Amino acid sequence: MKKSKGWLGLLVALSMPSAEAVNREIRALFQPDPSQPNRNVFLNKTPNSGYCANFPGQCTENNIFSIELPVRFSSSRAIVPGEGIPLKVPANWRQLTVTNRETQETETVDVRITGIGSNFVLSDSAANLTGAPNAREGHDKLWTNNGWVYAAEPCRYSGVGAYGTHSYRFFWKSPVEAPCVKVAAFRIPSISFETLDFAYELRTPNPLGMSSGLYTGAISYTMGPGADFDLGPLLHPDDSSLVLDFVLDVQHTLKVEIPPGGNKVLLEPQGGWQRWLEQGRKPVRLHRDQLFNISASSRFAMKLDCEVDLETGCGIRDRESDYGGMVNVSVSLPHGLTDRSGQPVRRMPLSRSVTPAFQPGIYVDRKPGTLHFEMGERETSWLINNTQNRPYEGNITVIWDSQV
């Protein structure tokens, strides 16, 4: 007998469900859309399951997404007439931090639960429990406030419901964080909610201010009596917590297009050399404006790399005599790109040091900018007096750097 009891105790211990966490991944993606440059939002990439998979029109209309979890809530005893089943979810906004895996930059995401649903199963048919002639009337009579398709206040009607002889599939919208109580009109020996469906809504940061890469973070919820997901004191879940793992994928665009031949910049006086030669005068400055097209959805900086390094900037030189002069380089950017203070970028000087980051207010798609190359009056005069009909040349590399 002792041995038999020992084995019975072991079997009972092995059959007890363990309370563990349920994890679900929530993914969202930002990619700039040339057709909608002002739409700077993340798109949900988590496949819908549960309610929104079965009734996509309801969710599209309300801009919500749903997930079905294999979490079972079971009653601990019979529910007697007058006892209620309250459904409460974390409907208030909660914050979590997501971190870029490479840069360690952090951003804040807000999330709230906007609906709850399940498929509950009764220990006997609704008709038998209530004495009703059919399942539909049985489900309606089983509860004092009009059955489960009509949500209890403050929850809201979702427009859908599906019943069987012993079961009812429902979904309620949860605009506020408060219990929504259905009260039993008849004795229910036992009831279980076979799954946990929930809808959620996100508030994500502005992706134009984020670096490219994956941002990850997690938020945890408790489940059970008195917890975040609470179906009252009589219904206990087989898992005690839910962890939502967030992955925000930011895929920025930074593309610069130089017109054919634009990599060769010829410095000339205003109106060209012929005009000055005909007038018998020396030009006071040499310059050239070079157009480019830029597409940008993220911060970027610019800097120069100089073949002829004059310490204070880049230059051109007579390769025979090694005499040279400095070329000032500046940039003007199209509408939608600003400096760090939010001002338009007009002839901002560039140097070998990285400029403060330029910031897009919208996605800029193939808009024209200008590189300005100029030699001032003193440098121009010196070169003209010393050129001896030899060219002054030098490679100046302009770098657009998105890693800022």
Residue 43 tokens read as 């798109």
Residue 168 tokens read as 């009812």
| pLDDT score recorded for residue 282 | 78
Cβ(339)–Cβ(350) below 8 Å: no
Q: What is the CATH number of domain 254-401?
A: 2.60.40
Q: Kind and range of the H or E element at 5?
A: helix 2-15
What SS3 class is residue 207?
A: helix
Q: Which residues contact 23 (CB under 8 A, 6 or more apart)?
A: 242, 243, 244, 245
- 105-118 burial, b at 16+ Cβ within 10 Å, e below that, comes to eebebebbbbbbbb
CA distance 239 to 157: 27
Q: The whole model's pTM is what?
A: 0.80
What SS3 class is residue 276?
A: helix
Cβ(116)–Cβ(145) below 8 Å: no
Cβ(59)–Cβ(65) below 8 Å: yes
CB atoms within 10 A of CB 9: 10
Among residues 397, 390, 395, the alpha carbon closest in space to that of 319 is found at: 390
CA distance 29 to 329: 37
| pLDDT score recorded for residue 383 | 80
Q: Kind and range of the H or E element at 3?
A: helix 2-15
Residue 391 tokens read as 């060219």
Which residues does residue 357 pair with via DSSP β-bridges, in sequence order? none
Domain boundaries defined on the chain: 21-250, 254-401
| pLDDT score recorded for residue 12 | 31
Cβ(188)–Cβ(144) below 8 Å: no
DSSP 208: G
CA distance 42 to 28: 6
- 56-80 burial, b at 16+ Cβ within 10 Å, e below that, comes to eebbeeeebbbbbbebbbbbeeebe
pLDDT, tens digit only, all 404 positions of the chain? 333 333 333 333 333 344 467 999 999 999 998 888 888 889 989 999 988 888 888 788 777 788 999 999 999 999 999 999 999 999 999 999 999 999 999 999 999 999 999 999 999 999 999 999 999 999 999 999 778 878 999 999 887 788 999 999 999 999 999 999 999 999 999 999 999 999 999 999 999 889 899 999 999 999 999 999 999 999 999 999 999 999 999 999 999 999 999 999 999 988 887 777 767 777 888 999 999 999 999 999 999 999 998 877 899 988 877 777 899 999 999 999 999 899 999 999 999 888 788 999 899 999 999 999 999 888 888 887 777 677 889 999 999 998 65
Give the number of C-alpha atoms closer than 13 A to the C-alpha of residue 83, restricted to the C-beta side.
Answer: 16
Cβ(199)–Cβ(55) below 8 Å: no
CA distance 373 to 378: 15
CA distance 181 to 381: 88
Residue 157 tokens read as 């009607």
